[in-house]
Structure 1
Amino acid sequence: MFKSTFAISNNFISTVLKKSDINGFTGEDSRGKHGKQKKTEDALLESVFQHINSFPRIESHYCRSRTKKEYLEGGLNLSMMYRLYEEENKAKGLNYVKKHLYESIFNTKFNISFFKPKKDLCVKCEEYKLLSDEEKMEKEDQHKKHREEVSLSRLEKEKDKEKCTNEDLIAVYDLQAVFQLPQGKASLFYYKSKLNAYNFTVADISKKETSKRKGYCYLWHEGIANRGGVEIASCVYEFIKDHCKDKKNLIFYSDNTVSQNKNRYVFAMYLFCIQTMQIETITHKYLIAGHTENEADNIHSCIEREKQRILKSGPIFIPSEISMLVKTSKKTGEPYNVKEMETSDFYDWKKLSEDFGKNFSLNTDDEKCTWNDVKIVELRKQNEYSIFYKTSYKDECFKEIDIRRKSRKSATEIVLKKAYTESPSITENKRKDLISLCSANLIPKAHHQFFFNLKSSKKVLPAADSDEET
């Protein structure tokens, strides 16, 4: 009757009797109050805090006056941090929390983000900030005009993306910072001349969905070709030839580097494409100097992060490893399209520009064109020997340059030739340094032949190419 009244079993009664003291009272309910386990949990949580705090942080150089957010080095990410945390505890034989808890603590208990590299600050804007109030009054109109061009250039790109159809293509291109090879942590690497490798990147931003956009990387090194307007024009030509066959209107954005993007070699290449393909117009719009952040930078950042990750496990020796690095750097979506350029892929756009015509400075109104001021350039199939340009994003009408002005050459004389009859040489002292790294076995024997095959000259090291924006 007792068991039926309280709906209990024999086991319940025996358990109560076992836990009763001499006075017949049972102890306090201990469910959910296991002290030892609580201590273990506290120690695990503390290990997460200690691990996250072990990474050095920096203030934001760009917005430290407006936020207290701190930043971790850009090569890191949460997955990499957890992997380091897991490996560290496994090596010590200690327990560790699951990944989701580690990420939750990072996101909710810390005001930290990952640093993303940015372009240099605008010289004009920084100079204006340092002026006295009186000097600012004098240059206020000039500064407003500069800021207006910045806003208009960004708005122009957004409008182009909105209006883009299946017959159009919009792309941004840029040359990444030089890869120097071999690259690793051996101290001797820092004291030797290295081989320069280049990555020219084209970001196709025609698709409105970011996930569907594609990136194209054109790789070469100084033993294959130099780095200048002819080489950049050749890479853009490869992109147009291979990926723009069904397009009628092309729009490119880039920075203002005269030696690479804003010169007669690039314009001659555009004219050649207009004349030999079904393209109707090619428009090149230049972002304002100091404010040239673009989608190609995002690709470069992704590649740089992958490079830093790989360098943690070992050196990078030869250009083909850069190619593999670029192909695997994008972790989601379609990988970057990589083309390893050969010496024969580069064309003599300098000679072609001379064949087209030599007038690149005087417009049809007999006004001199100052190319540093040009913001937009357009080439049209119906005007195959003219360059149209604007010096402001506010301008409604283009001005025209007839490049064949006073020229007697006919169109039949225009032939596209190779830029190199043979691959270029590297300097003798650079080759000696690379061979010395092979002799010291800092470069594996499997890669020795690549460096032995590099041609050299007796010249001293040349001055670095100028990348200054105008």
Structure 2
Amino acid sequence: MEISEDIRAKKRKRTGNVRVNAQLNKKSGNPYLTSQSKKYVPGKAAPGEAKCNCRFACTSVTVGARQKMFGDFCKMKHYNEQQSFLRGCIKTALINRRRHGMTLLGDLPVSDKRGGKRPQRNQAWKEKIVEFIASIPCRESHYGREKREKHPNKRYLSSDLNVTKLYTAFLEKHELAVLDKPPVSRQWFNEIFKKEFCLVFAPPRVDTCSTCDGYNISISTSKNPNDRRMEELKRDIHHRKAKATQTLMAKTVKDSQEPNSDTCVISYDLQQQSYIPTLTHTQMYYSTQYTCINLGIHLEDEAKGFMYMWEELAGKRGCNEIGSCLYTFITTELQSEKRKLIFWSDNCAGQNKNQGMLAIDFGCIERAKKGLKFEVPMDVIRIMATARKHKPFVITHTKKFFNWMQVAQCALMTKHLGISQAAIIKIDKKNLDQVEIKVEIKTSYCEVAPSKTVKVFKQGVNQQYFKTLIVEPTEQDIRNMKPWKKNKIKQIKDMIPYLSEQNQDFYKTIITKQEALSHGL
């Protein structure tokens, strides 16, 4: 049977692009069907009589002229043609008075309605996003220098996080990661993160625990899985010990604040060094400055802060200076009848060296420094004294220190003490009455951890020795100090002209002494 050529070559007739046809019908004012929902949209009706009452006499334009204008405009089916026609009808002129253009705006179908629809955002999901972000642990600035005055409530997230990681964790929490189009977009998540919260990602810590950093480096560089697991186990044990430290400290602080408590708790640490003078010209960023050192002591029982500040020419940051400040605090400021005294000092505690309340104290001082200029040490002291209105800090400008190292060399024998491994050193008064004075040492903060007693005093050193011991504070002799380098002397001398006149003599005196010291005078 022979098949007709018309039947054999029959093909579906192409009537054009449905989407393009719908756009052309829309621009020409004809009815059309939407491409997705197939919704029928009626065409635009031709204009009738003008209803404008303006002074331009729009009613003088006849209905026929209006309809002809409407038809000519609709014949231009492309958007660019219509826009070119409208631009030709517009005359640019300075606006002397606002006028109505109802004939142009009301008779021509110029509404674009472009841009599509925005997806509706569910408020229930917004509440979940806010709840999720609020649950992320955050902290205040360690020193407070990075806080802005406009954002006093700024908090810092871990430096290991970013918005992408938080968004991924949010999707995993609500089991949305498997969806192609989750109800929460990353853009919406980021918008809520920026507008609803005052959070930033902290820079990497520079005062982390050296033990923790050593374990992390060993884990990241280890190629053997067994060695990696061993290092991870050591790190976990170290973190558990740190957690036990925090728990024990919180317990001792809480016990000391009880009404009938017989325990006094003190924490102390060095603040970040302050450099003076603070000038605004760019050369300051490359110049060596004068250093001020501050030791913060927080009396946990009364929630009071004490600051002991000294200059770099008065002392260093060694045991003589720290011990002298503690001795001065105990003998002059500590007015307590409690019989048990606990010191918490600088150590690794969950990768956060400073104790909690001391970090707050230092943060108050750094916030007070923000935006202020200080040229001499007394300016720093004034700022510290006014940093907190409620229970202001007690400031002591220290210039003399006790030589505790000389006392230790004469009285102590620390060969078997193992001070680097000691977590708790306990000195009991009853042990001081014995012939051989011993102290109790523990290498762990666990309550059930064993302890050992170690003889730390040399032969003949007893309680009577310390009762008759006389140690006088002395001011450091500048002639026994290491002289400044010539570069530092020159840079500080170059800063003097930028200082106020009443503060220039302070640095001129220092420069004169350092130049004489460098020449051996």
> TM-score higher than 0.5 here?
yes
Name the structure 2 match of 1:234. Answer: 324
1:416 lines up with 2:471 in the alignment: yes
Cα-Cα RMSD: 3.7
The one-character-per-residue Cα deviations of 1:30-86 (angstroms, maximum 9, x if unpaired) are: xxxxxxxxxxxxxxxxxxxxxxxxxxxxxxxxx99x9699999832144679xxxxx
Return the alpha-carbon distance in structure 2 between the equivalents of residues 214 and 352 of structure 1: 30
Return the alpha-carbon distance in structure 1 between the equivalents of residues 334 and 492 of structure 2: 40
Aligned-partner SS, 1:435: helix
TM-score w.r.t. the length of structure 2 is 0.55
2:385 to 320, 327, 334: 327
Return the alpha-carbon distance in structure 2 between the equivalents of residues 351 and 182 of structure 1: 35
Instruction: Give the 5 Å matches for 1:38-77.
Output: 74-77=146-149
Return the alpha-carbon distance in structure 2 between the equivalents of residues 408 and 250 of structure 1: 23
Instruction: Give the 5 Å matches for 1:18-417.
Output: 74-78=146-150, 109-113=195-199, 119-120=207-208, 122-124=212-214, 126-127=216-217, 130=220, 133-164=225-256, 165=258, 166-207=261-302, 213-246=303-336, 247-256=338-347, 287-288=348-349, 290-294=351-355, 295-310=357-372, 315-330=373-388, 332-343=389-400, 346-357=401-412, 359-362=413-416, 369-384=417-432, 385-394=437-446, 395-407=448-460, 411=465, 414-417=469-472
Return the alpha-carbon distance in structure 2 between the equivalents of residues 226 and 215 of structure 1: 22
Q: Does structure 2 conserve the Cα–Cα contact (< 8 Å) formed by 1:428 and 1:456?
A: no
In 2 relative to 1, CA 159–348 (structure 1 residues): closer, same or farther, beyond 3 Å? Answer: same
Give the CA deviation at 1:146.
0.9
Give the CA deviation at 1:203.
1.6
In 2 relative to 1, CA 189–155 (structure 1 residues): closer, same or farther, beyond 3 Å? Answer: same
Aligned-partner SS, 2:386: helix
TM-score w.r.t. the length of structure 1 is 0.60
Name the structure 2 match of 1:453. Answer: 509
In 2 relative to 1, CA 116–379 (structure 1 residues): closer, same or farther, beyond 3 Å? Answer: farther
Q: Which runs of 5+ in 2 are unaligned?
A: 1-52, 54-131, 154-190
Aligned-partner SS, 1:316: coil
Return the alpha-carbon distance in structure 2 between the equivalents of residues 156 and 145 of structure 1: 16
Return the alpha-carbon distance in structure 2 between the equivalents of residues 459 and 373 of structure 1: 41
The one-character-per-residue Cα deviations of 1:168-215 (angstroms, maximum 9, x if unpaired) are: 2212111011111112221222333211111110122225xxxxx111
Aligned-partner SS, 1:456: helix
Q: Does structure 2 conserve the Cα–Cα contact (< 8 Å) formed by 1:388 and 1:401?
A: yes
Return the alpha-carbon distance in structure 1 between the equivalents of residues 418 and 137 of structure 2: 44
Give the CA deviation at 1:354.
2.3
Q: Which runs of 5+ in 1 are unaligned?
A: 1-21, 23-62, 82-104, 208-212, 257-286, 363-368, 461-470
In 2 relative to 1, CA 127–293 (structure 1 residues): closer, same or farther, beyond 3 Å? Answer: farther
**Greater Rg over alpha carbons, structure:** 2
The one-character-per-residue Cα deviations of 1:346-393 (angstroms, maximum 9, x if unpaired) are: 101011112323x1122xxxxxx4322111112222223433211111
In 2 relative to 1, CA 69–201 (structure 1 residues): closer, same or farther, beyond 3 Å? Answer: closer
Return the alpha-carbon distance in structure 2 between the equivalents of residues 361 and 181 of structure 1: 41
Aligned-partner SS, 1:377: strand
Return the alpha-carbon distance in structure 2 between the equivalents of residues 242 and 107 of structure 1: 50
Return the alpha-carbon distance in structure 2 between the equivalents of residues 329 and 374 of structure 1: 36
Which residue type is aligned with residue 292 of structure 1? Answer: K
The one-character-per-residue Cα deviations of 1:383-424 (angstroms, maximum 9, x if unpaired) are: 234332111112544322222244578717632133446357
In 2 relative to 1, CA 168–80 (structure 1 residues): closer, same or farther, beyond 3 Å? Answer: closer
User: For this pair of structures, how many residues does the alignment match?
Assistant: 324
Name the structure 2 match of 1:5. Answer: none
Aligned-partner SS, 2:284: helix
Identity %: 18
Which residue type is aligned with residue 335 of structure 1? Answer: P
Give the CA deviation at 1:144.
3.1
Give the CA deviation at 1:135.
2.9
Q: Does structure 1 conserve the Cα–Cα contact (< 8 Å) formed by 2:310 and 2:397?
A: yes
1:442 to 488, 498, 506: 498
Aligned-partner SS, 1:123: helix
Instruction: Give the 5 Å matches for 1:1-12.
Output: none
In 2 relative to 1, CA 458–427 (structure 1 residues): closer, same or farther, beyond 3 Å? Answer: farther
Q: Does structure 2 conserve the Cα–Cα contact (< 8 Å) formed by 1:70 and 1:113?
A: no
In 2 relative to 1, CA 289–401 (structure 1 residues): closer, same or farther, beyond 3 Å? Answer: farther
Return the alpha-carbon distance in structure 1 between the equivalents of residues 270 and 291 of structure 2: 13
Aligned-partner SS, 1:383: helix
